């Protein structure tokens, strides 16, 4: 195979021109789907992901009912046309695992005790995929939950950091994810400063591990500001109160 | 494995109380793992095999090597596939059927540790670029469940791979031919997985079944020979504080060193 190409250019910038700690462009929109109780659409780099929430609703099959809380169901699914080579639409082992970790990342934020004997369904559909689709999916899914009016302790927001050319960088795109030497998706509840998803692969010294982890948290908080703006825009339109005004009323 | 049995509240309270004094119900300290036994070469028909016990948890890993075609995006690399099945005999709560979400997560987390540490040199598994490569399958049977399947499975996979031998293939007159010679599977690094569970506010190493029922969070961290971190996964529908992530990383690096020495000794 050809020699590994450099992912960081001579001028210290990355192949797409970003600085080491710079996020890709992100846009968020809440409430685009008509039928769903809540929905959110995220574009993050080349990622285009729709998240929808139905519920609280009756649980089928009934034996899955939890007597003291809601059952949260999640499905992360990639459309066959979302990647370079057509993906078989049947759920892969990767998608099953990601559905599980997304569920475990969202449940801590949802006050499931407020909805005993019900199901809350979260569907995450990746229409076009780029690096970091699971954290983008979580970011959209928590917005969709909020849009559905589900009681929550905090939003959940994710960001992935990693190692490229032996350097810690923020928010890997798909080239950096494939050709780099490490990917670390992290999701947090930003106001509570708690981590709800942590996955790591690659080669990290103890020092780089901490640097990447702390960078992912800091970058997640940046994305949180956009998340919050998208949510207030949905409910207040252009007359959305400023952050300062909201702090005051809270 | 799913937490589908209940630990009495009083027992859980006892666990938390003991942990506040640095003790566990089975008399271990919080950072002490259960005794590990590793026996290799137990299945003669496999290219490599190992039975590992971690306390009462018991798993068998078997390696089968064949030849096949490489993935189009990695034409000069062999294939490595780790798969795990929780047998119905392994626990009263296990059932036959297609792999559960838990079994898929288990196999993928172990696979990630082996893959990301670059334990197996996949480039050395190439026979004819783009056409023929060695395919290395590691299948794990969980025989008895008593918590911490992640680490037991990882030690079994690593031990089986370290002792695996495969048939040598060469290219003669543009044809791939099998030789009557066995060569070792090209392994280099030794990844070690260390799993911690949080009970109350304390992180404990290598939880048994009872502790898994009382834990609210699990985190697995895999380290390599240099003490670098090559894989991790947080589990359970709960949170972890940033400080606990770093604590878990340090514990895993430290405990991993001891366990690596034992694996190397058992597979030399």
CATH number at residue A171: 3.30.230.70
Q: What pLDDT does B3 receive?
A: 53
- Reference A124, options A52, A217, A42; nearest CA is A52
Q: What pLDDT does A239 receive?
A: 76
User: Tokens representing B195?
Assistant: 């799993």
Q: What pLDDT does A86 receive?
A: 85
What residues have CB less than 8 Å from A182, skipping those under 6 apart?
A162, A163, A200, A201, A202, A203, A204, A212, B116
Q: What pLDDT does B5 receive?
A: 65
Does residue B125 sit in helix, strand or coil? helix
Band of the pLDDT at B95, cuts 50, 70, 90? confident
pTM for the predicted model, two decimal places = 0.88
B84 reaches A (C-beta below 8 A) = no
Domain count of chain A? 1
Average pLDDT over residues A19-44: 95
Q: What pLDDT does A69 receive?
A: 96
Cα–Cα distance for residue pair A243/A93, rounded to 1 Å: 41
CB contact under 8 A, A195 and B230: no
CB contact under 8 A, A193 and B241: yes
DSSP E strands in chain B: the ranges are 36-40, 48-54, 57-68, 79-86, 126-128, 132-144, 165-172, 175-184, 192-199, 202-205, 217-223, 229-235
Q: pLDDT per residue over B175-228, tens digit each?
A: 999 999 999 999 999 999 999 999 999 999 999 999 999 999 999 999 999 999
Q: Which of A194, A196, A200 sits opposite B232 (nearest CB)?
A: A200
Query: ∠A46-A215-A226 over CA atoms, to 5°?
Result: 50
A79: closest CA of chain B, how far (Å): 20
Average pLDDT over residues B117-142: 95
Q: What pLDDT does A2 receive?
A: 44
Q: What pLDDT does A236 receive?
A: 87
**Average pLDDT of the residues of chain B:** 94
ipTM of this complex: 0.80
Q: What percent of chain A has pLDDT over 90?
A: 87
CB contact under 8 A, A203 and B230: yes
**Average pLDDT of the residues of chain A:** 93
CATH architecture under which domain B9-266 falls: 2-Layer Sandwich (3.30)
CB contact under 8 A, B236 and A104: yes
Average pLDDT over residues A149-165: 97
Average pLDDT over residues A87-114: 96
Q: Is A14 among the domain residues?
A: no
Q: Which of B75, B107, B239 sits opposite A189 (nearest CB)?
A: B239
Taking every pair of C-alpha atoms in chain A, what is the biggest distance, in angstroms? 60
Cα–Cα distance for residue pair B70/B91, rounded to 1 Å: 37
What residues have CB less than 8 Å from A80, skipping those under 6 apart?
A86, A87, A88, A89
B197: closest CA of chain A, how far (Å): 14
Cα–Cα distance for residue pair A140/A133, rounded to 1 Å: 10
Q: What percent of chain A has pLDDT over 70?
A: 96
Q: What pLDDT does B4 receive?
A: 56
**Under 8 Å between Cβ of B60 and B53:** no
B245 reaches A (C-beta below 8 A) = yes
Comparing A239 with A147, the larger pLDDT belongs to: A147
Q: What pLDDT does B96 receive?
A: 85
User: Tokens representing B72?
Assistant: 């189009």
Domain with A49, as residue range(s), is: 26-232
B6 reaches A (C-beta below 8 A) = no
CB contact under 8 A, B233 and A103: no
Q: Is A244 among the domain residues?
A: no
User: Tokens representing A195?
Assistant: 């981590």
B27: closest CA of chain A, how far (Å): 30
Q: What pLDDT does B43 receive?
A: 92
Q: Is the pLDDT of residue A1 over 60?
A: no
Q: pLDDT per residue over A200-229, tens digit each?
A: 999 999 999 999 999 999 999 999 999 999
Band of the pLDDT at A250, cuts 50, 70, 90? low
Counting one residue from A and one from B, how many pairs have CB atoms under 8 Å apart?
A: 102
Q: Is A116 among the domain residues?
A: yes
Band of the pLDDT at A245, cuts 50, 70, 90? confident
Residue A39 backbone dihedrals phi, psi, to 5 degrees? -155, 160
CB contact under 8 A, B234 and A197: yes
Q: What pLDDT does B133 receive?
A: 96
What residues have CB less than 8 Å from B260, skipping those under 6 apart?
B190, B192, B225
CB contact under 8 A, B108 and A107: no
Band of the pLDDT at B85, cuts 50, 70, 90? very high
Q: What pLDDT does B252 receive?
A: 97
């Amino acid at each position: 195979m050809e020699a590994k190409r450099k992912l960081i250019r001579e001028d210290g910038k990355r192949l797409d021109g970003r600085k080491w700690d710079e996020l890709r462009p992100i846009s968020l929109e809440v409430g685009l789907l008509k039928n769903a109780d809540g929905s959110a659409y995220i574009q993050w780099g080349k990622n285009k992901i729709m998240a929808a929430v139905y519920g609280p609703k009756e649980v089928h099959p009934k034996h899955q009912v939890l007597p003291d809380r809601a059952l949260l169901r999640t499905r992360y699914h990639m459309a066959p046309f979302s990647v370079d080579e057509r993906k078989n639409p049947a759920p892969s082992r990767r998608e099953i695992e990601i559905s599980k970790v997304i569920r475990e990342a969202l449940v801590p934020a949802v006050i499931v005790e407020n909805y005993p004997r019900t199901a809350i369904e979260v569907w995450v559909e990746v229409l076009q995929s780029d690096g970091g689709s699971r954290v983008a999916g979580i970011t959209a899914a928590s917005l969709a939950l909020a849009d559905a009016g589900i009681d929550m302790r905090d939003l959940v927001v994710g960001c992935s950091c990693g190692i490229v050319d032996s350097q810690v960088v923020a928010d890997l795109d798909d080239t950096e994810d494939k050709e780099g030497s490490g990917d670390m998706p992290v999701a947090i509840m930003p106001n509570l400063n708690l981590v709800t998803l942590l996955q790591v692969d690659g080669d990290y010294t103890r020092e780089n591990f901490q640097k990447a982890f702390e960078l992912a948290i800091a970058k997640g908080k940046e994305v949180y500001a956009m998340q919050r703006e998208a949510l207030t825009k949905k409910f207040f339109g252009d007359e959305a109160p400023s952050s300062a005004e909201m702090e005051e009323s809270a | 494995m799913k937490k589908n049995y209940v630990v009495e509240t009083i027992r859980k309270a006892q666990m938390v109380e003991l942990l506040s004094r640095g003790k566990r119900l089975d008399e271990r300290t919080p950072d002490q793992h259960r005794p590990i036994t590793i026996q290799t070469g137990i299945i003669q028909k496999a290219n490599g095999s190992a039975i590992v016990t971690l306390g009462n948890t018991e798993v068998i890993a078997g390696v089968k090597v064949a030849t096949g075609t490489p993935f189009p995006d990695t034409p000069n690399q062999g294939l490595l596939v780790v798969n795990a099945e929780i047998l119905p005999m392994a626990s009263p709560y296990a059932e036959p059927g297609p792999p559960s979400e838990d079994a898929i997560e288990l196999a993928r987390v172990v696979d990630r540790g082996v893959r990301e540490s670059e334990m197996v040199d996949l480039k050395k598994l190439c026979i004819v670029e783009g056409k023929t490569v060695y395919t290395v399958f590691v299948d794990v049977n969980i025989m008895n469940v008593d918590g911490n399947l992640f680490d037991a499975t990882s030690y079994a996979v690593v031990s089986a791979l370290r002792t695996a031998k495969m048939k040598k293939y060469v290219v003669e007159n543009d044809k791939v031919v099998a030789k009557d010679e066995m060569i070792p599977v090209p392994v280099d690094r030794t990844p070690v997985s260390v799993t911690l569970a949080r009970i109350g506010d304390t992180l404990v190493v290598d939880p048994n079944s009872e502790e898994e029922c009382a834990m609210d969070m699990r985190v697995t961290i895999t380290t390599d020979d240099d003490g670098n971190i090559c894989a991790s996964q947080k589990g359970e529908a709960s949170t972890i504080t940033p400080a606990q992530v770093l604590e878990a990383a340090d514990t895993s690096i430290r405990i991993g060193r001891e366990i690596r020495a034992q694996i190397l000794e058992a597979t030399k």
